[in-house]
């Protein structure tokens, strides 16, 4: 005998671009939203009864409808507006979960002058947020950045590790350290200034990565997380995922050449994978 367990459904990857005009100066955002609902939807699974189902196409339209009326300056604020609308208009929803990603568009500067309506993509990273609420509960907000690609060419070593009959890795006291990092933090303050907190966290992460005398990715990860907590008292914890994207010294001896840490071969697969949460 079978019974229905935990279930939810929704609309994923709803993309939108938004222009906010203040005279000749424009702001530009590109967001991708995903919505998941939990509630009294059992009959749609077990009895082929769709009378309680809000179509996912309607959810897509709701994203655009809310975006048109939205005054949100951040993806966190927009996620809450979207979730609040769904909860207010559909009483059988027991929990709403909204995720929003934002591409890193930034204003173009020409001859030292910011362009009022021209933008360039700043990097591959995505700003992210995940907002969850029940009808009578408060919002739980988890934000972050995904695909933060950073590299430094010194202040990175890896020595003193276990060496056995299968070890071929040579100790390194000066190596390239590169990663495509993901950072996710949980807000503990009820009404944080999302943009300000995000900027402080990003600055702390990047500044620590650049200055840190790294003995391993683990060593650098922890100090980056600690710096983020110090920079943003609004957050309770931060989770960092930092794959070690290797740059291996090329062997030029067959060609009669030395290689004093000059020419490397980028290798992103396989790669080391380091992940940890830094908490207060």
Catalytic residue at 246?
Answer: yes
**129 is written with which tokens?**
């947020």
Active-site choice (11, 103, 212, 247)? 11
Q: Which residue has the tokens 């972050």?
A: 144
Catalytic residue at 103?
Answer: no
Closest CA to 27 of 18, 16, 37: 18
**105 is written with which tokens?**
């568009």
Active-site choice (103, 130, 212, 246)? 246
Would you state the torsion angle of the CA atoms of residues 47, 48, 50, 54, taken in this order, to the nearest 10 degrees? Answer: 100
With contact defined as beta carbons under 8 Å apart, do 174 and 157 qualify? yes
Strand 93-110 to strand 264-279: parallel, antiparallel, or no bridges (unpaired)?
Answer: unpaired
Complete DSSP assignment for 11-60: EEEEEEEEEEEETTEEEEEEEEEEEEEEES-HHHHHS---TTPPPHHHHH
Catalytic residue at 26?
Answer: no
User: What's the number of CA atoms in the CB half-sphere (13 Å) around residue 159?
Assistant: 7
How far apart are alpha carbons 201 and 238 in whole angstroms? 10
Would you state the torsion angle of the CA atoms of residues 224, 230, 236, 239, taken in this order, to the nearest 10 degrees? Answer: 0
Q: Which residue has the tokens 């944080």?
A: 192
Active-site choice (26, 56, 90, 152)? 56
The 10 Å Cβ neighbour count of residue 126 is: 19
Query: Which residues are tagged catalytic?
Result: 11, 56, 246
């Amino acid at each position: 005998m079978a019974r229905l367990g935990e279930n939810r459904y929704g609309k994923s990857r709803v993309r939108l671009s938004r222009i906010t005009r203040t005279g000749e100066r424009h702001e530009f955002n590109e967001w991708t939203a995903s919505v998941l609902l939990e509630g009294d939807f059992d009959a749609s699974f077990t009895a082929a009864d769709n009378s309680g189902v809000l179509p996912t196409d309607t959810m897509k339209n709701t994203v655009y409808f809310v975006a048109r009326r939205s005054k949100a300056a951040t993806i966190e604020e927009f996620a809450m507006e979207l979730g609040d609308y769904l909860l207010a208009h559909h009483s059988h929803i027991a929990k709403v979960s909204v995720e929003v990603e934002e591409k890193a568009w930034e204003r173009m500067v020409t001859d030292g002058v910011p362009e009022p309506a021209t933008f360039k993509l700043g990097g591959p990273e995505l700003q992210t947020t995940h907002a969850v609420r029940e009808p009578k509960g408060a919002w739980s907000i988890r934000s972050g950045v995904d695909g933060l690609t950073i590299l430094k060419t010194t202040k990175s070593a890896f020595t003193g590790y276990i060496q056995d009959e299968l070890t071929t890795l040579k100790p390194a006291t000066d190596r390239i350290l590169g990663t495509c990092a993901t950072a996710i933090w949980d807000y503990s303050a009820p009404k944080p200034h999302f943009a300000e907190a995000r900027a402080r966290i990003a600055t702390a992460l990047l500044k620590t990565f650049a200055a840190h005398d790294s003995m391993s990715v683990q060593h650098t990860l922890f100090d980056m997380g600690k710096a983020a907590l110090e920079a943003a008292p609004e957050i309770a914890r931060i989770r960092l995922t930092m794959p070690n994207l290797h740059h291996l010294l090329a062997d030029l001896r067959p060609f009669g050449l030395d290689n004093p840490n000059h020419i490397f071969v980028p290798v992103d697969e396989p790669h080391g994978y380091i992940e940890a949460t830094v908490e207060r």
